[in-house]
Structure 1
């Protein structure tokens, strides 16, 4: 075992260090330093100062400030000489934005959106970051074209709308009765709402079932 360890030590000293792209070395170091601070799906865009080497063997030191979008790195170049590289760094993220303005009440589909790059630092806590968080939802407030979608502007699709005629269902064991009714407020599927029975004129609480039906809440 001792002979094997000495052999590995000898090989590591005799083999030259492998050069890597400068951008890759710096990006890896920044991502490591910012772990947990960048939104999932973020990427870095680097702009190296003119005259910067394309490759380096090792990153010795790095200072960066994403708010100022600046970095300075001390590296060992491919020729073994230490060199300082400066430049700009931007944390970016691709977000879905509407292709056109979408009015309240519109149902969202994946084909209504495209992805555009935005600074990750400007990403609010309520920004929708993927199509899964959009598809099937209903617009609650106007969505401007090309703007990041906020979750407060969306709602689950309405199963009943205020003023809409619906079928009111009453169940008691095997017994099931129905009557025409009018929804007195909006509700998504599974939500409770006030409903007026058009036969009796009474207002009752019901659960929206979808497909123009609601069940008396018991």
Structure 2
């Protein structure tokens, strides 16, 4: 029999003995109840960091009652100790989530790279609903507004890189079955890859709608 199996059997035997209970770290009990309180609103990648008030028992059996302020993380609870006593405990249970932030001040028009981004744990209450929460939501994106290091990035502060800029000369491609034609045009709006853009055909002086396909290349729509 392995050492792990022996340890498991001993633990199980102790747990089944009358009057004998297995104490659990109080922080684990608090995290368990905090997760229950948040329920379906708990982010899948969220985790709690718990700070207890001085004099709090290190272990307990279970938490009987639990109250928490989701915004501040302050909680009060009634802890049942190993002896069956009820102790009032309090502290902070802060819900954190990993968030991508920039490592330096980034100016508009710059393109973000991996070197500009790091993942940090941040209190959920500090991360607004419009913040970018995924690494890929920043990597390779073009900045619209100045970004401050260490702060959550608003989704509207970054966009896919512009490949057609307003006023640029562009190549207009027209594809219709086997027929492929090209013409020169001028963009009258910005566009990223796959975005619709208004373009003036310089040959006919007519404005058409196209889709940005590559740097300086658009495909006419019918």
TM-score by length of 1: 0.83
> Are residues 204 and 87 of structure 1, via their aligned partners in 2, closer, same or farther at CA, if it must alter by over 3 Å?
closer
The residue aligned with 2:162 is: 158
**Deviation readout 1:19-60 (Å, 9 max, x if unpaired):** 110000111011111112344422222221212111112222
**Deviation readout 1:142-191 (Å, 9 max, x if unpaired):** 22222210111122222311122221112232121212332221112222
The count of aligned residue pairs is 208
Q: How does 1:1-218 map to 2 (within 5 A)?
A: 12=16, 14=18, 16-218=20-222
Alpha-carbon offset, residue 85 of structure 1: 1.8
Structure 2 Cα separation of the partners of residues 177 and 67 of structure 1: 59
Alpha-carbon offset, residue 61 of structure 1: 1.9
Unaligned 5+ segments in structure 1 are 1-10
Q: CA RMSD in A?
A: 2.2
Structure 1 Cα separation of the partners of residues 205 and 78 of structure 2: 80
Structure 2 Cα separation of the partners of residues 94 and 206 of structure 1: 39
**Deviation readout 1:124-157 (Å, 9 max, x if unpaired):** 1101112122223222222222221011112222
Unaligned 5+ segments in structure 2 are 1-14
